[in-house]
Structure 1
């Protein structure tokens, strides 16, 4: 019988380096044995939600069981809590229990990173991060490590959080500054990540022609970070790519802009049929998928 490893946040992060995560995400998208049922999202009293997200390939089965409690942000508590349980398909044994928030943060940033590597017209930066929570930190880490950016601009409703993330960026050797107007910052940033609670529009201005925007905060039809005009501009003047086909009923930014989400390619399509460098701004809409958690489990088993 194999020994079950119960990993805390630090141990989980140590098993999920970004280059390995990117490789496994691409591998999962090309693996015909991967199966990902629709996730269960159960509303809870008080405005939270319980997520049950299973997936498997020929060797590994996982279930992510997490709660999402938006109200925790005001109280200084984590908004995402839970675990990812990893099973051996052949024996049915549990192999790992990974920290759910750490998996969510790192695999989401790795998906954005993979999309930027394949789609960004200009990956040199500066990078604009809107939202300075856990996802802001993970995207900063991933883009700094693997895209080689040298400068980051940060906006957050919380000045303390923005300054803390800027301090972290400086410890990474980056130039960093906090900005009060993210719309104005779009003019100087070809790389943009929005990772807010997605309860209101945070970007309305039109991006640069060589911009890559990863919008990761909104994952239900009611959630939104990007203004409708921005989304429609990317549709007309550039390109929109979604993370998976599930975005057809989850991408609140695009749905509220009146766009036909079903008509956009998914990341798997981009990897399978790479084409010439995109012209105009690229909007990558990420909603989340248990396949990304399966990729994280595969990476964790290798490290």
Structure 2
């Protein structure tokens, strides 16, 4: 007789999921996955499925496997929720054991998205920022602004942060988070001056309009996170072109060729740009000039986060 007894699956909430993903360990795990891509055929990350929804929303399905674990992230993106104090990203990651096909774990999707995105930025800053010690300017004080604040403070040692947001309330909340971490924290009322002061800049807005036009410092590291479709934009086209002419542009993955709205709208040939995998696998020396890192998202980042979370969860469950 076939055993049809249900197998218990731990379903973790946001707090429990976050506890399994320390910032530096997560950046290390992402770097390890990029190294493994060179000589491992077991890692598979199919192109994500994006189904448009009403009012500018999207439904994302992102599967991946490393040969031992298989995972699928299913999340919705509803930009209109921001004006109603509801999360813009909602959903889950379901983890399976490849050998048995059994469901092992359910992780909080928005938490994985926030932490792996900020950890990718952290890894890129570790590798590419000419002045990784900061100060840091964060443009956009939502979930990703908070994630990047914590990732850079705990993983890069950032001690000074400037915050810019269209919402005074959101900026004030992120300011208090920064102070709670022991950082020198300021509201960037004058964005031009903040850009000139900060060698680290992260833009993580809803990407409905250009938020950064000022050419950064010659030793700047600009990480553009918010725009992940061809229609979305955070950076002015002339800023992107100036970064290409006077510095270096790196994209997170080859998928940026049809997702990097900032670069596509600037008329830049994204297919010719190096990826973060190339930086890691070729062990690039730290650049001396300005760097623009364009992050669009990739199921491989979720796979790295899932692997780390699963190992951490197993250790906690061990007798």
Are 1:294 and 2:308 an aligned pair? no
Q: Among residues 263, 274, 293, which one is paired with 1:265 in the alignment?
A: 274
Partner Cα distance (2:86, 2:299) in 1: 24
Match in the other structure for 1:210: 219
Match in the other structure for 2:107: 98
Partner Cα distance (1:258, 1:27) in 2: 33
Match in the other structure for 1:281: 290
Partner Cα distance (1:99, 1:275) in 2: 34
Partner Cα distance (2:204, 2:218) in 1: 22
Match in the other structure for 1:254: 263
Matched pairs, number = 303
Partner Cα distance (2:7, 2:119) in 1: 29
Partner Cα distance (1:21, 1:277) in 2: 21
Q: What is the CA distance between 1:184 and its match in structure 2?
A: 2.7
The one-character-per-residue Cα deviations of 1:117-168 (angstroms, maximum 9, x if unpaired) are 0000001111000000000000000000011111000000000000110011
For residues 170-249 of structure 1, the aligned pairs below 5 Å read: 170-249=179-258
Match in the other structure for 1:23: 28
Q: Is contact 1:234–1:280 with CA below 8 Å preserved after alignment? A: no
Instruction: Please provide the CA RMSD for this pair.
Output: 1.0
Q: Among residues 4, 7, 14, which one is paired with 2:12 in the alignment?
A: 7
Partner Cα distance (2:10, 2:207) in 1: 34
Partner Cα distance (2:113, 2:190) in 1: 28
The runs of at least 4 aligned residues of structure 1 exceeding 6 Å deviation read: none
Partner Cα distance (1:182, 1:68) in 2: 28
Are 1:136 and 2:141 an aligned pair? no
Q: Among residues 127, 145, 160, which one is paired with 2:154 in the alignment?
A: 145
Q: Is contact 1:130–1:182 with CA below 8 Å preserved after alignment? A: no
Match in the other structure for 1:163: 172
Partner Cα distance (1:130, 1:155) in 2: 5
Q: What is the CA distance between 1:20 and its match in structure 2?
A: 1.6
Partner Cα distance (2:276, 2:149) in 1: 21
- Stretches of structure 2 that go unaligned for 5 or more consecutive residues are 1-5, 313-319
TM-score for both structures, normalised by structure 2: 0.93
TM-score for both structures, normalised by structure 1: 0.98
Partner Cα distance (2:228, 2:190) in 1: 24
Partner Cα distance (2:190, 2:281) in 1: 38
